Structure 1
């Protein structure tokens, strides 16, 4: 992958938090400083790069949490819903995002 790590992180910050506010389909995780990112939003944030390669790079940077089998998607219950979805789990700190507002009870989808 020819894209630099900082360029990739900046792209993700811009797509996940446009205008400093969480993207409409981004889920904050209560009690954690992570975000659940639906697959479509993740693909959009990749901006034409291959999502699997982007996921590998983000995992190597400590941004993306791998699942128990070493894959990149997790099946998680969405905050505020009884539904589950396959999502990417991104940690706010290494990505340079503020902690999930849901962690403080300020925001939840």
Structure 2
């Protein structure tokens, strides 16, 4: 398991379940501060047939974070070697609209809401 955290958030990559879990509130300042997260996500695609991004406990993601997630989805689409699924929560307001927009970037993206 690979894990890192910062003020108010935690990100874990669980290799056994092929899942990246994000929780808390991500309010990093700009794309450069999101670079380590972007790198973790892109590296998580390597050697996997499927990857789940579990955002169901991510209460807040700012616009730079949404841009980072969008770029990652485009990377996954272009690589076309790993199925991608995103798990969200209906209880968290920002997720419905923002995550549904990712389907436009990658029609094969599997979106699940609890």
Q: Give the TM-score, by structure 2 length.
A: 0.29
Choose between structure 1 and 2 for higher RCO, CA contacts under 8 A separated by at least 6 residues: 1
Q: TM-score, normalized by length of structure 1?
A: 0.30
Which has the larger strand fraction?
Answer: 2
